[in-house]
Structure 1
Amino acid sequence: MDPALVTRHHVSEPDEAPACAPQPLAFLLTAYRILGQSLSLHRSARAAIRLPVPALAEAAALILVVGPQRAHWWTTDGRAAVTGAERMPVRSADAPPDGLPDWIQAALTVADGPWVRPVRSGRWVLPDGAEHDGHGVVVRLPCDHLCQGVLVLLRDADRPAFDDADRSLAVQYAEPVGRAVTAALLYRDQVQVADALRAALRPAPLPSVAGLDMATAYRPAREAMHVSGDIVHVEPLAAGGVLCIVGDVCGKGVDAAVAGGLLRQSMLILCRVTGQPLDILAVLNDASFDTGSAAATQFTTVVVGSVRATPGGGALLRLAAGGHLPPLVVRRTGEVEAVHIGGMMLGADVPGKFAEAVVWLAPGETCVLYTDGVTEAREPAGEMFGPDRLAALLTGHADAPAAVVAERIEQRVVDWLAGAHHDDIAVLVVRALPAGPLRGGAR
């Protein structure tokens, strides 16, 4: 780039600058108000290049380089503005940084302090390929820790050049633009992290296992960013059958969800070493307990079970529990039996004391594992859903497939809540099928 193109121009910091005239002050107040309304990067960028046209320039461009291979740009031209309800058109795209015009690439390489640089008269190519015949300024944005960014303001050739007051106003305007860009980029990063976290922590699809019909219901607390501290997972065993875990990590939101995810990953490893639920609980407890800091211990109630279909139909469940709610067994008669196992929650002591129970399901019978988000759900007046309503619901669906039972539990609880806040909800339904080919389905 020709050294004569731009020259460094010192502009006093805002607190050193003289008081703005009413018109510049009104412009800046409007800019702060409008640019503070959205966390959308695209919406903020469009507003950032529309606001200074035509007050400061006939054409404006915003260019952000957010990585070695990624740049975003937005341009608008006041001369292309249309009348009526439509607004000034904005063109935008992503491009590799080396695909930007040379003079903009050069402006982006400056990395020290806030600055404004005048652009001499000429024909300047903008990122969208359009040429502007005129002069203007390039202002660096104060968002260097997230990206390199510049705001380009170009005037027509017959309009006066930017004077000191114009350049000062341009630098002051870059402040709300930089704030809006920074907030939007941070929000976008947080959304991407949250989406990745939700995808990683949601229950995995259930395996298809001959002789078993399984389904889950999973609903995080409404205020918990759509991630849950409840655990529900089923993993096939190499020797046949499955290992399942249903648990409830104390707390809600990201911390509880991460702790639950770690427990689930630990179980995935352990099930390759042993299929014994009691042994798995003991190891999980050792991993949960922090002898150095009680505050750092992650308390969890949990049921770990191995489930195997038997050759003549039906299924055998070996369930080990640590302080969790009793599983419910639905017999073919509609009778509901609570399996009180006992045991202490994970993280309470080392070594932990856990209990185990063996449950036999005849063909057509069902076992339901659930978290307290089901039974402790409260309707707006404060009454809990409770174990009796859950048992009555299961009695009424004794012959239903697992997917229907899981869906009915979730829907009945949601109806009971009537929009009230609730705890995380997780349900696993295991139904034994008659001997023969796989029937039923997993949800």
Structure 2
Amino acid sequence: MSIRWQLLLSHLAVVAVAAVAMVIVARLSVDRAVDQLSLANHRLSETVLTKSGERLVMAQAQAVAQELARLLAGRDSADYAALRRDQALRAIATQDIRSQFGPAGYTDVYDQTGLAVLHPNKTVEGRNFAEWREKFPQMWELVRNSLHTPVSQGYYDFIDKNNAPRKKFMAMVHVPRTKLIVVAAVDIDSYFKPVQARIAAEGQRIKDQALDQVWGHILAGLAAAMLIGLACALFFAQRISQPVRHLAQGVAALGGGDFSVAVRADGAREIKALAQAFNRLGGELVAHIERLKAETAARLAVASEMKVARQIQESLLPSTFPPFPEKRELRLYAINQPAKDVAGDFYDFFLVGPERLALVMGDVSGKGVPAALFMTMTRTLLRNICPDEPDPARALAKANELLCQDNDASMFVTLFLAYYEIDSGRMVYANAGHNDPCVIAADGAARCFGRMGDVALGALAGQSYAAGWLDLAPGETLALYTDGITEAPSPDGREFGMDRFEQLLTANADRDVEDICRLVVEAANQFQAGERFDDVTIMLLRRAATEQNPSIG
């Protein structure tokens, strides 16, 4: 039975009482029931619809960020002029956010300095949001926090072009592998208020209709007894208001975090339908949370497997220092830190004769698991080839031929290989496209060598490699490294650079090789503000001091 008919029956009983008394009683009963229904609906819309709306806005921001990351792959995301000319890119970056009632907001893009890159209002592009910090401090605080937070959201007060105060919500998501940030901003009044206004209008309509019915029956039923009419009115009012109170209590529990709460679906047809919809909402929220739990557990499992993979990889790299304590003619130390869970950089050293030490420094293309697998294969090949091949150039040529076979992923590795004579300090080497090694004299003077112009291993079959030699003088230190150090980027886009690296080696030439390695790695990490862009690897070998002179050939 509908609310309309329950009110009709209630006021048919009231016709037996005096007209004036029944008007007061009927009005109080109807107002109370409908006001409670409106209150429950408003609370439901504020707690459930608003949260759902926030998630939808955040989801749209994340979807735009992922699409932009895909479109910008391989492009210069810092070329803002080109980005603005790209209409397809602009359409993705500055799209409308719509509710069922029409446009309620938009998306735009700024960079990690707060500079507007793409905006529906093109006059905003090229301006920094910091310009509005005084006029809209809440908005600027959200923007400022988003510059270093991958995902953020919040509300702020805004003054529109008609000088009217408006409340807005925005969600901000960093575009992967760029310095761009997507913001999705909606007008709260346009996004949420229409639903609440419709609920309030429907409640008022029912209330007005019910009062019209009551008033007509009161005028027609002056003969009914006041006590009977009052009792009937109270009975039916209770039938209406009790389910609404139950629903209001359920909404309060849902707002407190109890997503499993359910309310009794009784009372009028409309209230039953509302209660059933509310109970379905709780179940859907519980199911969503369970899915999130399952996804989180899966991610933790993957993280655990990656941790094991890193442990296996670390076990392949020499980790005992000093490695040859009986050979006092040298000091050797190395560090490898991956940008991801596993590394593509690697170092290695092993004896290929009683007094001959093979030194390896490599950097595989790419990062993560594929690079780590290619690194493991390269290390294994060299360990098998070098003991039987006295020429490092021919050793690289043999390794290159094997790495080029079935290399469908087109991976490659830059690599420096040297054979170091421990007793004499002479070193014969070959370089497959790797960074130039450095030699640091005992007095701190630094010089680089070893650029041969040869290609990386695995890139092209049938290659030959040139060999060079160097006599490491007593007290001199050989530095092998990867570009994860020299090309390490700062948050503002500057590179660590070769000059800074050489200055660091020169300034600490009198320190132990382990201390120098740790100082270099720490300096590169600090320069990147703790977020490594690439694997960081360094290996230092120092010849014990005697009276000999260095030469390079």
Distance 2:350 2:475 in 1: 22
The equivalent of 1:234 in structure 2 is 349
**Paired residues of 1:341 and 1:355 also in contact (CA < 8 A):** no
Alignment of 1:188-267 (within 5 A): 189-202=301-314, 204-205=319-320, 209-221=327-339, 225-267=340-382
Which of 462, 465, 468 in structure 2 is aligned with 1:351? 462
**Structure 1's 277 and 292: CA in aligned 2 closer, same or farther, altered over 3 A?**
closer
Which of 480, 497, 511 in structure 2 is aligned with 1:386? 497
Deviation string, structure 1 residues 45-75 (Cα, Å, up to 9, x no partner):
xxxxxxxxxxxxxxxxxxxxxxxxxxxxxxx
The equivalent of 1:337 in structure 2 is 447
Alignment of 1:20-31 (within 5 A): 21=276, 25-31=280-286
Distance 2:405 2:389 in 1: 24
Q: Identity of paired residues, percent? A: 26
The equivalent of 1:268 in structure 2 is 383
Structure 2 residue identity aligned to 1:317: M
Shift of 1:34: 3.1
Shift of 1:358: 1.6
**Structure 1's 209 and 412: CA in aligned 2 closer, same or farther, altered over 3 A?**
same
**Structure 1's 242 and 292: CA in aligned 2 closer, same or farther, altered over 3 A?**
closer
**Paired residues of 2:416 and 2:431 also in contact (CA < 8 A):** yes
TM-score by length of 1: 0.55
| Alignment gaps of 5+ in structure 1 | 1-19, 39-181, 436-443
Which of 403, 418, 436 in structure 2 is aligned with 1:326? 436
**Structure 1's 209 and 271: CA in aligned 2 closer, same or farther, altered over 3 A?**
farther
Report the 3-state secondary structure (helix = DSSP H, G, I; strand = E; otherwise coil) of the residue aligned with 1:236.
strand
**Structure 1's 291 and 218: CA in aligned 2 closer, same or farther, altered over 3 A?**
closer
| Alignment gaps of 5+ in structure 2 | 1-274, 547-553
Is residue 415 of structure 2 the alignment partner of residue 302 of structure 1?
Answer: yes
Report the 3-state secondary structure (helix = DSSP H, G, I; strand = E; otherwise coil) of the residue aligned with 2:520.
helix
The alignment of Structure 1 onto Structure 2 pairs a total of residues equal to 266
Distance 2:439 2:540 in 1: 10
Report the 3-state secondary structure (helix = DSSP H, G, I; strand = E; otherwise coil) of the residue aligned with 1:28.
helix
TM-score by length of 2: 0.44
Shift of 1:183: 4.4
Shift of 1:383: 1.8
Structure 2 residue identity aligned to 1:250: S
Structure 1 residue identity aligned to 2:447: E
Distance 1:184 1:25 in 2: 24
Choose 410-419 or 364-373, whichever is displaced more. Answer: 410-419
**Structure 1's 25 and 260: CA in aligned 2 closer, same or farther, altered over 3 A?**
same
Q: Over aligned residue pairs, what C-alpha RMSD do you find?
A: 2.7
Choose 356-365 or 203-212, whichever is displaced more. Answer: 203-212
- Which protein is bigger by CA-based radius of gyration? 2
Structure 2 residue identity aligned to 1:235: F
Distance 2:283 2:355 in 1: 69
Distance 1:286 1:234 in 2: 22
Structure 1 residue identity aligned to 2:331: D
Is residue 480 of structure 2 the alignment partner of residue 369 of structure 1?
Answer: yes
Structure 2 residue identity aligned to 1:287: L
Is residue 143 of structure 2 the alignment partner of residue 32 of structure 1?
Answer: no
Report the 3-state secondary structure (helix = DSSP H, G, I; strand = E; otherwise coil) of the residue aligned with 2:388.
coil
**Paired residues of 2:347 and 2:537 also in contact (CA < 8 A):** yes
Deviation string, structure 1 residues 253-300 (Cα, Å, up to 9, x no partner):
21111111111122222234334322321121112214785xx32221
**Paired residues of 2:431 and 2:450 also in contact (CA < 8 A):** no
Distance 1:328 1:350 in 2: 29
**Paired residues of 1:330 and 1:398 also in contact (CA < 8 A):** yes
**Structure 1's 35 and 415: CA in aligned 2 closer, same or farther, altered over 3 A?**
same
Report the 3-state secondary structure (helix = DSSP H, G, I; strand = E; otherwise coil) of the residue aligned with 1:213.
strand
**Structure 1's 297 and 190: CA in aligned 2 closer, same or farther, altered over 3 A?**
same
**Structure 1's 409 and 272: CA in aligned 2 closer, same or farther, altered over 3 A?**
same
Shift of 1:185: 6.3
**Paired residues of 1:344 and 1:353 also in contact (CA < 8 A):** no
Deviation string, structure 1 residues 145-183 (Cα, Å, up to 9, x no partner):
xxxxxxxxxxxxxxxxxxxxxxxxxxxxxxxxxxxxx64
Shift of 1:31: 2.4
Choose 183-192 or 331-340, whichever is displaced more. Answer: 183-192
Distance 1:232 1:357 in 2: 20
**Paired residues of 1:249 and 1:300 also in contact (CA < 8 A):** yes
The equivalent of 1:315 in structure 2 is 425
Shift of 1:213: 0.8
Choose 376-385 or 329-338, whichever is displaced more. Answer: 376-385
Shift of 1:421: 4.5
Deviation string, structure 1 residues 117-158 (Cα, Å, up to 9, x no partner):
xxxxxxxxxxxxxxxxxxxxxxxxxxxxxxxxxxxxxxxxxx
**Paired residues of 2:344 and 2:535 also in contact (CA < 8 A):** yes
Alignment of 1:30-429 (within 5 A): 30-38=285-293, 183=295, 186-187=298-299, 189-202=301-314, 204-205=319-320, 209-221=327-339, 225-290=340-405, 296-310=409-423, 315-342=425-452, 343-429=454-540
**Paired residues of 1:364 and 1:399 also in contact (CA < 8 A):** no
**Paired residues of 2:429 and 2:467 also in contact (CA < 8 A):** yes
Structure 1 residue identity aligned to 2:337: R
Report the 3-state secondary structure (helix = DSSP H, G, I; strand = E; otherwise coil) of the residue aligned with 1:368.
strand
**Paired residues of 2:430 and 2:450 also in contact (CA < 8 A):** no
**Paired residues of 2:404 and 2:459 also in contact (CA < 8 A):** yes
Distance 1:383 1:194 in 2: 31
**Paired residues of 1:322 and 1:355 also in contact (CA < 8 A):** no
Distance 1:208 1:33 in 2: 63
Shift of 1:23: 7.3
Shift of 1:24: 5.6
**Paired residues of 1:341 and 1:357 also in contact (CA < 8 A):** no
Shift of 1:238: 4.2
Distance 2:525 2:284 in 1: 46
Structure 2 residue identity aligned to 1:194: M
**Paired residues of 1:201 and 1:258 also in contact (CA < 8 A):** no
Shift of 1:347: 2.3
Structure 2 residue identity aligned to 1:195: K
Distance 1:400 1:275 in 2: 33
Distance 1:369 1:376 in 2: 15
